[in-house]
Each structure stands twice: as C-alpha cells, then as structure tokens.
Amino acid sequence: MIIGVTGGIASGKSTVARAFERLGIPWVDADDVAREVVEPGEPALAAIAARHGPRVLQADGRLDRRALREIVFADETERRWLESVTHPRIRERLTERLAQLAAGEAPYVLLVSPLLFESGQSRLVDRTLVIDVPEALQIARTASRDDVDEHQARAIVAAQMPRAERLSRADDVLDNSEGEAALADRVAELDRRYRRLDGLPHEP
C-alpha cells in the first residue's frame, strides 16, 4: 500500500515523514526526484535549454532554477510547457522508486509530495493523507523557517491550492497545529490504522 502525503508550504510534510520513518516506514520525496530529472545529462534539462537558451543555465551547465522560476511565474503557457516536460518523467521515476520500496519489508510506504493532487501523482497512490494547519500558523512557520517576511509567506500560501480543496480530496487528514509531541501521537495512531488496512481491500 502506498500513502500519498501532501500539504501546503510548511504544513509539516517532512516532519511527518521523519515521524513515520522512526516507526520503520520508508518514503520517497517527490521534490528530490523533481530535482533529479533536471540534472545535467537528463533529457528534460536538454529540452528546457533548447527552448529557453543559455539564460536558464548556470556557467557550469546546471539549471538556473531562479531564472526558470521567473519565466514560468510570469507566463502560464511556459509553466504548462515545463510541466508537460517534467511531470511525466517525475511520475515515471517515482513509480520505479515506489515499486522498489514496496518490494521491501515495510507494511506500507509513503510518497511525500507538495503537488500530489496538482501533478497527477495521486494516481500513483492508494490513499492520500493531507497535513493540515490553519493558514495563520502556516504563514508563521514559513516566515520563521525560510527567512521570508509575513507578506511574502502570505503570497506563497495564496498561490497554492486552497486549503478547503486539498481537504476535500483527502482520504485522511492529520492536524499538525499542535506541538511535535501531539504530532508523534497522531502519526502513531495513523500508523496503527495503515498497518491494519494493509492487505485489506482499500476504501474507494
């Protein structure tokens, strides 16, 4: 069984994944794979360079993420084009990684992805778990972790999928509005549930 874990910026996805890992549950991070598919030598990087030229490359040939981000932020067509190049490759590689993990000893495995719903990666999982925090707390945690001011943090949150929509798509919701001890308890409770579900027919 594969559980897809998602949530907005600074909702606590990585913190939750580490808590599951302490219980013996392995995970794949979609952000890591998203970075891998645009490494030098990868076809996606070649396609991006062919479309946008040297302005999106650093002197050493690696992708200049900031330059590319500025292009796609300003132009919806370019954002869609970039996604059409990267998302299928990311999904393919995630499928491989998840199959490797699922072949191991663990009763279930996690796919941790900020864009689980937006990128079609939810098709790769059996259930979805949304990490949920009120927006005010999300903004405060983003500002204190990433050295951005409250205004910038608010803009990032506003550009993401609305909280209500994410919640409406979730099979399970983990409230991460309290401290780390409460979070560990909630993860342990979900872990017990997922171990019971493993091997049983999944809920639709």
Q: Which residues are annotated as a binding site?
A: 10-15
CA 14 to chain centroid: 9
φ, ψ at 152 (rounded to 5°): -65, -40
> Binding pattern to ligand ATP, positions 78-117, x when CB under 6 A?
------------------------------------x---
Task: Decide: is 10 part of the binding site for ligand ATP (CB under 6 A).
Answer: yes
Of 9-17, 37-45, 75-83, 163-171, the segment contacting ligand ATP by CB under 6 A is 9-17
Pick out the residues of the known binding site for ATP: 10-15
Distances (CA, A) of 11 to 31, 46, 72, 135: 15, 34, 24, 9
Comparing CA positions, the residue from 13, 12, 7, 11 lying closest to residue 138 is: 11
Binding segment (CB under 6 A) for ligand ATP, from list 12-20, 53-61, 67-75, 118-126: 12-20
Our CB check for ligand ATP shows the closer of 5 and 56 to be 5
**CA dist., res. 160 & res. 184, Å (int):** 26
Q: Rounded to an integer, what distance in angstroms lies between the CA atom of residue 44 and that of residue 85?
A: 6
Q: Which CB atom, from 95 or from 177, has the smaller least distance to ligand ATP?
A: 177
Q: Which residues bind ligand ATP (CB under 6 A)?
A: 7, 9-15, 114, 141, 145, 176, 179-180, 183
